[in-house]
Amino acid sequence: MSSSIILIDGRTPRRIGCRQVDEISVDFAVELNHAAGERLSEPSLMDVLSAELWRLRRIIAGMGLSASDSEDVLQDVSIQALKQSRNGSQTALPSREDNVKWLIKVTVNRCLMEHRRRRTFRRYASEILKRRLETKKASKPADEKAIVAEELEIVRESLQKLDDSLLSPIVLRYFCDLNSKEIGEILALSPSAVRSRLREARMILAKGLLERGLEP
């Protein structure tokens, strides 16, 4: 099936990752149904959940949850999605875009519960750098690594202490590449309120570094 999708879509296989294949599969299924003379229907919430799993993982990671907490969050989100799809079947079908926003909203709210309990960003900078060195085989001098570790630790602590009203916008904007309007729709804020929170969050992170000795 993958090869058919790629041929119809006109893209080369090596440029298509799992994420794109998931998205294309959902669109393709809808198009096939339409081609077969059926009513053009939106993919179900569970289909959207499968296709958008990469994005939810990214949000959870951005919120700094541990692997086991991440697993719990995804489990809760999928159960809520199941219940929602049951409720949704009795009313008008929402659009795919609505489903995506709903999933992001539920995921963000669930992650914020963990953030309020201070169960986020618990992995120390030294662990992060160790893993980074193992995977990327970085070859920086020892003294420079020490400075980076210190700075990384400052940012990690700042992220951990960041108010939840500021954490979710900064993650959605800078790690999930959503714009202020999209973030506002998900968090029930105006785009200007989102921009204001982004400024505040960025300043907290930057000033945290400056106050504790960032080199110019």
Partner 1 sequence: MEKFCEDIEQMLVDYADGKLSPSDSSMVAEHLATCEHCRMLLNGLQKSLELAGVIWADSLAETEHILIPAAKTKKIRRPRYAAIAASFLLVATASVVWHTLTRPRESKLTFADIERKISESGGAAQLLAAAELLSDNPEAENIVKQQYQYIVETYPQTSSAIKAKSKMQ
Binding site for partner 1 (CB under 8 A): 1, 29, 32-33, 35-36, 38, 44, 46-47, 49-50, 53, 57-58, 60-62, 64-67, 70-72, 74-75, 78-79, 82-83, 86, 89, 121, 123, 128, 131-132, 135, 148, 151-152, 155-156, 158-159, 170-171, 174-175, 195, 198-199, 202-203, 205-210, 214, 216
Round to whole Å and give the CA distance between 203 and 99.
Answer: 33
State how far the Cα of 37 lies from the Cα of 40, in Å rounded to an integer.
9
Cβ contact 32:13 at 8 Å: no
The minimum distance between CB 82 and partner 1, in angstroms, equals 5
Burial 19-45 (b: 16+ CB within 10 A, else e): ebbbbbbbebebeeeeeeeeeeebbbb
CB of 208 to partner 1, least distance (A): 7
**Residue 71 CB, nearest approach to partner 1 (Å):** 5
Q: Distance of alpha carbon 112 from its chain centroid, rounded? A: 13
> For residues 16 and 155, which CB has a smaller minimum distance to partner 1 in the complex?
155
Contact 166, 156 (CB under 8 A): no
Retrieve residue 30's tokens: 């809808």
CB-wise, 125 or 187, nearer to partner 1?
A: 125
**Nearer Cβ to partner 1, position 51 or 186?**
51
Q: How far is the CB of 91 from partner 1 (least distance, A)?
A: 13
